[in-house]
Structure 1
Amino acid sequence: MYKTGILNSEISKVLSDLGHTDRIVIADCGLPIPKGVRKIDLALSFGVPSFESVYELVLEHMAVQKMIFAEEIKSDNPELLKKVNQSDVEKEYISHEKFKEMTRNTVAIIRTGEATPFANVILESDVLF
């Protein structure tokens, strides 16, 4: 049995298969999932699991070179913005409409139970060397 790391086999597999510049999404429970994009649904109830708990765990196990957020997080979810700004990873802010379009070209979307506005991020994979 897996001793450390992420126990969810689907997330573990996705992270293991990522190449440089591949992208995944960590999403709140309301973000639409485009047809053809792998959905890893962790949502159990509103708030469970939280965006923050999944985000922190994935960052612990993934080399990330860039994070992409919807511009609207700045006005509609400043508490979450403050938390994600603690990371020194490059950040980009785009419209929520463009964000939803970009999710079509991601490897997977990890759906959380988060129920606060614009609690979504696209994580772009870095290399380890």
Structure 2
Amino acid sequence: MKKSGILNRQLSGALAELGHGDGVLVCDAGMPIPDGPRVVDLAFRAGVPSFAEVLDGLLAELVVEAGTAAEEVRGANPAAAQLLDARFPALRLVSHEELKVLSAGARLVVRTGEARPYANVLLRCGVFF
């Protein structure tokens, strides 16, 4: 049994299968989930777990070379915008519609219980060497 890190067996296993360049969409409870990517749904109740908790847990375990989010986050969810800016100094912003299109190419979707709008980011996995 693992003693630290991500304990959810489905999520831990899905992360172990990721490679350089793979996409991981970390999304709020309202984001439309495209057909195709593997989905690990962590949503339990509104706000639980939060987008910030899940994102920080993933960033502690993954090498991430880039992040893409919806430009609408700036006006609609300043707290999420501030979190994303702090975690991704070179955050790429696209329209929410474009983010939905891009998310179809993700290898993994991790759905949180976040109940505030536009708390979504598409991560691009890097390599540790």
Aligned partner of 1:76 in structure 2 is 76
* Runs of 5+ unmatched residues, structure 2: none
Query: 1:65·1:90 contact (CA, 8 Å) conserved in 2?
Result: no
Q: 2:85 is matched with which residue?
A: 85
Find the counterpart in structure 1 of residue 64 from structure 2.
64
| Aligned-residue offset at 1:89 | 4.9
Between the two proteins, what is the percent identity of the paired residues?
A: 40
TM-score (norm 1): 0.95
CA RMSD of aligned residues (A): 1.1
Distance apart, 1:25 and its partner CA: 0.7
SS at match of 2:91: strand
The farther-off stretch of 66-75 and 81-90 is 81-90
Q: Which whole-Å CA distance do the structure 2 matches of 1:126 and 1:64 have between them?
A: 5
Provide the rounded CA distance (Å) in 1 between the counterparts of 2:34 and 2:11: 18
SS at match of 1:100: helix
TM superposition shift of 1:90: 2.9
Q: What is the CA deviation profile of residues 65-96 of structure 1, one whole-angstrom value per residue up to 9, with x for unaligned ones?
A: 00000010111111111122112553100000
**Matches of residues 1-129 of structure 1 in structure 2 within 5 Å?**
1-129=1-129
**Partner letter of residue 13 of structure 1?**
G
Q: Is the 8 A contact 2:66 2:88 kept in 1?
A: no
Structure 1 unaligned runs (5+)?
A: none
2:84–2:91 contact (8 Å) kept in structure 1: no
| Native 8 Å contact 2:67 2:88 kept in 1 | no
**1-structure distance, mates of 2:34, 2:50:** 21
Normalization by structure 2: what TM-score?
A: 0.95
Three-state SS of the structure 2 residue aligned to 1:68 is strand
Contact residue 22 and residue 125 of structure 1 kept, 8 A: yes
Q: How many residues align?
A: 129
Which residue identity does 2:55 align to in structure 1? Y
User: Is the contact between residue 66 and residue 89 of structure 1 (CA under 8 Å) also seen in structure 2?
Assistant: no
